[in-house]
Amino acid sequence: QASGVTVNDEVIKVFNDMKVRKKKAVLFCLSDDKKQIVVEPGKQILVGDIGDTVDDPYACFVKLLPLGDCRYGLYDATYETRESKKEDLVFIFWAPEGAPLRSKMIYATSKDAIKKKFTGIKHEWQVNGLDEVQDRATLAEKLGGSVVVTLEEGSVGPRPPPPPLHLLCTSSAPPLLLHL
């Protein structure tokens, strides 16, 4: 790890939870001292919340991403090809245009440290802005391109614009869990 950043054990525990489908999405960030990659408190979607407090898990995941800083994320994508229904974990490196240059550099040089802990991940996606991440078709392309016909129960072909994110993401938990 070129940056000297280490990965907190809780990150590996969360990854193992995701492999057994307990969590739908999780964000990871650097600790305050920039020495460890940690699970970001309150920035996860549990599988049990879907259909209860979370209507559209992908829209909620997008809403968790901070506009002014970088993050790593894991998203458990459910999608269909013409042949079958699949689930795959996607490693996301979120580096928005508005993030400070220093933050982009630390996250970029620390990325391998966290990726090494996530064995068996087939898909990696670097995202640099909301326009890229809001369109499910971009993620569908990462998962298998034209063979993907639906992602998270939604068609990935041409379609009308989605409803605003705040209509899709409700929570009975304290509001700070979904605030950016």
Q: Which domains does the chain have, with CATH numbers?
A: 6-173 (3.40.20.10)
**pLDDT tens string 124-168:** 999 999 988 888 888 888 887 766 777 776 666 544 444 444 444
pLDDT at 6: 96
Rounded-to-integer distance, Cα 127 and Cα 123, Å: 13
Rounded-to-integer distance, Cα 40 and Cα 18, Å: 15
pLDDT of 176 over the 80 cut: no
> pLDDT class for 50, splitting at 50, 70, 90?
confident
pLDDT at 179: 35
pLDDT at 65: 96
Tokens linked to 17:
């939870």
pLDDT of 89 over the 80 cut: yes
pLDDT at 149: 76
pLDDT of 66 over the 80 cut: yes
Tokens linked to 51:
């259909």
Tokens linked to 49:
């919340």
pLDDT at 107: 97
pLDDT of 35 over the 50 cut: yes
Q: Average pLDDT over the chain, rounded to whole?
A: 83
pLDDT at 171: 44
Q: Tell me the DSSP string of 60-117.
A: HHHHHS-TTS-EEEEEEEEEEESS-EEEEEEEEEE--TTS-HHHHHHHHHHHHHHHHH
pLDDT of 175 over the 50 cut: no
Rounded-to-integer distance, Cα 95 and Cα 118, Å: 19
